[in-house]
Structure 1
Amino acid sequence: MKIRDAEIIQLSIPFTDGSSGVGLMPQQWTHLDVALLKLTTEEGVVGWGDGFAYHCVNATIAVLRDMVLPHVIGAEIDDIAAFNHLLQKRLHLHGRYGITIFAISAVDTALWDIAAKQRGVSLANLLSDAPRRSIPAYASLVRYGDPGQVAEFAADVVARGYRNVKLHEIALDCIEAGVQASGGDVRVTTDVNCNWSLDEAHRMMPEMQRLGLYWVEEPVFPPDDAETLGALQDRYGVSIASGENACTLTEFRRTIPKIDYVQPSVIKVGGVTEAAAICDAAAEQGKTVMPHSPYFGPGYWATVQLMAAKANAGLFEYFWIQPEAFIDPSIPHPVDGGIAVPDRPGIGFEPDPDVLAKYRVDG
């Protein structure tokens, strides 16, 4: 494929989640920032991607526009993984990870979308001879910080058919409330987002064992301290999950041997190329991948397709918020805790022009 043109579309979509809007992000969080990328080949085939952009949308767009796309427009690309590696190599002086990889993730996802469309198949069928037609999902609640609210939302998602629930709570009373409200036959996890000190983790992990948590996510900082994460898991017998803040297979090679669940994020890790390689590396060691996916643009669709293609991909993360609109209204939401995998060519994503026009931010 030869890329003729590229367009970056910045979106800001309001959402509600029942919380105070403070807790998961460094600032109050009320809008989904989206750095949407449209690539078009010389033959007119369009591919869509996005790079992680929550509270960093301007930076992600700047890197895409100024650093990455000059290498993409006009490029003849026969091997997407090799091209991804080339971009990383050419741009490594600007930082191996973070914003640079977020931008490369957008390009990589769009290229895979194009590649599958050119063959007239879904991405899952391009990556696998026998992809799954549906994948299990869990409800990923935000942080409420109030036991009553935690219980209310946990009970609600269980009533809707979810058998797996993730909290983002860090206080014991809130975690206990979520576990009790979910019931004994539902698996509950909590994402600590690195908020516990190591001493706090040693105090809290026995409680997590008592409560029977399915996993504890990123209990301490830094989240890529494989030795500490592995030691906590081994000492307390509670599975540890981590990886949403890691980039490329290189970083994951440190944590895959130490913890039970690895969590690549397609729009942060380096796109489909790197996420697929992480799935394969985890499979070699008998590990399950639990992708990070609290977003609703092309990264959502690509994650669904990738998980359908990879047998060791476990649960899809469905972020429990209510956006004012979905970029593609046909987005496959979970039903009774499962997602039907779209069979349209590519990743399946086609944005609604009216949504783009309404929520577009002109820089």
Structure 2
Amino acid sequence: MSLKAAPASLRNRVERIETIRVASQPNIVWVEVTDERGLTGLGETYYVPGAVEAVLHDMVAPLVLGADASRIEDIWQTLFARANFHGFAGAEMRAFSALDVALWDLFGQHAGMSIATLLGGRVRDSIRVYNTCVDAGSYDDQTAFVERPGELAQNLLEAGFSAMKIWPWDRFAPHIGGDANVGPAGWSAMGQVGHDLTPEQLQEGLAAVAEIRSAVGGRMDIMIEGHSRWDLNAALAICRTLEPFGVAWIEDAIQPDSPADLARLVRESRVPQCVSERLFSRFAFRNILTEGACHLAMVDVVWSGGVTEARKIAYLADAFHLPIVPHDCTGPVSLAVSLQLCAHATNAKIMEVVRGFVDGWYDEVVEGLPEISGGRAIIPNRPGLGLALRPELRDRDDTVVTTSAR
């Protein structure tokens, strides 16, 4: 169908781009795109929100304001070409991701269809979820997996979860000191790569896994988060000591910047390797997949390029007979849009959630949050994303809204 033949209701010019930040969530920025008919699409991304805002208002707005909001692929390619002249990854791709999600949300609202339907239809209406064990809200899950992992696993089973993710070796690696905002996984998750993991530390980290297995047996899938905290030798030691425990995967056991080294983990251990929300664009995933450097592709929709790019990553992984496992430890829009991808992608395996976020601050800032029940996420079939920021969010004392308009 030619552009001129497209339904008039779907051809709407971008009138306004707004970014919304709240001081209580210092890593989050929401993006609202409003068209000439007054409908608004919602996007989101996480990390360095000030830099993301600068990209959106200084670079993106002059190119996108007045453009046809339904030409999502064309907008994505234009922005990528502009950024890639200087190097695209980082704040640029986060900004493009948030904008892209908002455009898909807007398109779905005009069409009266969910994003999953727009992508080609749904293959599932719910998906199994795993709990990433962060201290959040009323849950001290990160403290618990260190101090009482068996009890935590039993508690999660009783809450309906059949899978959990922990990072028992992070605390032994170098970490960033001071008052740095290191994100939801805490101080131990971020720092320089460790090179000296002692036998005692190896066994101390393994104790959490062993206790979970002893407490609940095979009823609980265990995912290990590596946070890229160790070098190849230490990562191999961790993987080999995990082999008898049948873990679901280890994620980012080393930094995901060398497919050849990641491929050694695949070849030299029997633990499935999950890589990586840190990869931006299908090109980065192509390099990992063609090297045989992972067993599972973890895509972050609000980092890797939005819906437009994440669907291509899903198709690419499927061509290698591998699943995707979307990432969310960040925000409610990330969860919602990832679930739309899961509804459509045949190779979606499982979805990440943080129960302290879903039961806590997510619900405080958005309306229409997806339901989590019995260890599964029920995927909404409402137009677009199926959720929106709560109107009262703009009235909070800690909210800052920045606008670019034509």
State the TM-score, normalizing by the size of structure 2: 0.79
Q: Which has the larger radius of gyration?
A: 2
8 Å contact kept, 1:224–1:255:
no
Write out aligned runs for 1:1-363 (5 A). 1-13=12-24, 31=25, 33-53=27-47, 56-142=48-134, 143-144=142-143, 147-170=146-169, 171-220=205-254, 222-257=255-290, 258=292, 259-322=294-357, 323-324=360-361, 326=363, 327-358=365-396, 360-362=398-400
Residue 255 to residue 180, structure 1, CA distance change in 2 (3 Å): farther
Residue 95 to residue 344, structure 1, CA distance change in 2 (3 Å): same
Q: Give 2:377's aligned amino acid.
A: I
Q: Helix, strand or coil for the counterpart of 1:83? A: helix
Unpaired segments of 5 or more residues in structure 1?
14-30
Q: Helix, strand or coil for the counterpart of 2:27? A: strand
Residue 111 to residue 201, structure 1, CA distance change in 2 (3 Å): same
Aligned-pair identity in percent equals 26
Q: Helix, strand or coil for the counterpart of 1:36? A: strand
CA distance in 2, matches of 1:159, 1:359: 39
Residue 202 to residue 265, structure 1, CA distance change in 2 (3 Å): same
Q: Helix, strand or coil for the counterpart of 2:372? A: coil
CA distance in 2, matches of 1:178, 1:70: 53
Question: Could you tell me how far 1:239 is from its partner in structure 2?
Answer: 0.5
Question: Could you tell me how far 1:329 is from its partner in structure 2?
Answer: 4.1
CA distance in 1, matches of 2:327, 2:397: 25
Q: Helix, strand or coil for the counterpart of 2:100? A: helix
Q: Give 1:270's aligned amino acid.
A: G
1:24-70 Cα shifts (integer Å, max 9, x gaps) = xxxxxxx46320111011111211001222xx222222222222222
1:135-190 Cα shifts (integer Å, max 9, x gaps) = 11111113448632433433321221111111122232333334444432221111
CA distance in 1, matches of 2:108, 2:216: 40
1:73-110 Cα shifts (integer Å, max 9, x gaps) = 11124431232011010122443111110000011001
Residue 195 to residue 118, structure 1, CA distance change in 2 (3 Å): same
Question: Could you tell me how far 1:241 is from its partner in structure 2?
Answer: 0.2
8 Å contact kept, 1:162–1:337:
yes
CA distance in 2, matches of 1:232, 1:145: 29
Residue 219 to residue 182, structure 1, CA distance change in 2 (3 Å): farther
Q: Give 1:328's aligned amino acid.
A: V
Residue 114 to residue 79, structure 1, CA distance change in 2 (3 Å): same
State the TM-score, normalizing by the size of structure 1: 0.88
Q: Helix, strand or coil for the counterpart of 1:246? A: coil
8 Å contact kept, 2:340–2:379:
yes
CA distance in 1, matches of 2:278, 2:72: 23
Unpaired segments of 5 or more residues in structure 2?
1-11, 135-141, 170-204, 402-406
8 Å contact kept, 1:137–1:318:
yes
CA distance in 2, matches of 1:41, 1:179: 53
- Provide the residue aligned with 1:21 in structure 2: none
- Over aligned residue pairs, what C-alpha RMSD do you find? 2.0
8 Å contact kept, 1:11–1:33:
no
Residue 145 to residue 202, structure 1, CA distance change in 2 (3 Å): farther
